Structure 1
């Protein structure tokens, strides 16, 4: 997991990167599993994934993904049981823009990232 490094958001405000999830619920040499829960209007702070990862939605919600590089946000609907695979890299922030709680498990593939360098 990377240390927080100071930088600026698209509005020029100084920020420090946070963790990719809120709580590690499992970890071994190959994977790290995070729990993420966002109430309506809540956000997961700016963060950057260093490992390829899967997101598994446990509770559905309408989310917004903002990139620190700016541009239009990505609006996504996360269905219960839906799974997405993403490559590491982009610094972004996740906001629950819906009216229901969002909950997911994020599975970092350390075996393809930090342990494979």
Structure 2
């Protein structure tokens, strides 16, 4: 199964730039929208709107509130998401293509840091 967010959720994710070192994705959704499970490599996330989301992976879930104009590190992870707020989610992801460290432990927190 393909776990690339552009393949699993093409209505939400689009590629806005790509070269041999990075891929830049734009993500947009409306309140109540849900993404199917997908995987992100190590990335930098830039928020373009205020939003509230629930990220889940297996039995774990975390609610995340983000303000517009933030840049955060997003370590490699697999998750699904739900817009649990009253505003659109609008985010840019700069995905790194270089190999990262070994896979994080299962108890690694979900979401941005």
Q: Which residue of 2 aligns with 1:108?
A: 95
RMSD, matched Cα: 1.7
Q: Could you tell me which runs of 5 or more consecutive residues in structure 1 were left unpaired when the two chains were aligned.
A: 5-16
Q: Is 1:97 aligned to residue 97 of structure 2?
A: no
**CA displacement, residues 68-96 of structure 1 (integer Å, 9 cap, x when unaligned):** x213x2111111011221221x3211111
Q: Is 1:85 aligned to residue 91 of structure 2?
A: no
- Name the CA distance, whole Å, in 1 between partners of 2:98 and 2:4: 22
Structure whose alpha-carbon radius of gyration is higher: 1
Aligned pair partner of 1:70 in 53, 59, 84: 59
Consecutive aligned runs of 4 or more in structure 1 exceeding 6 Å deviation = none
What TM-score comes out, normalization by structure 2 length? Answer: 0.75
- Name the CA distance, whole Å, in 2 between partners of 1:44 and 1:24: 16
| Number of equivalent positions | 95
CA contact (8 A) 1:29 1:111 kept: no
Considering fraction of residues, name the structure with more strand.
1
Alignment of 1:1-117 (within 5 A): 4=2, 17-19=3-5, 22-49=13-40, 51-67=41-57, 69-71=58-60, 73-88=61-76, 90-113=77-100
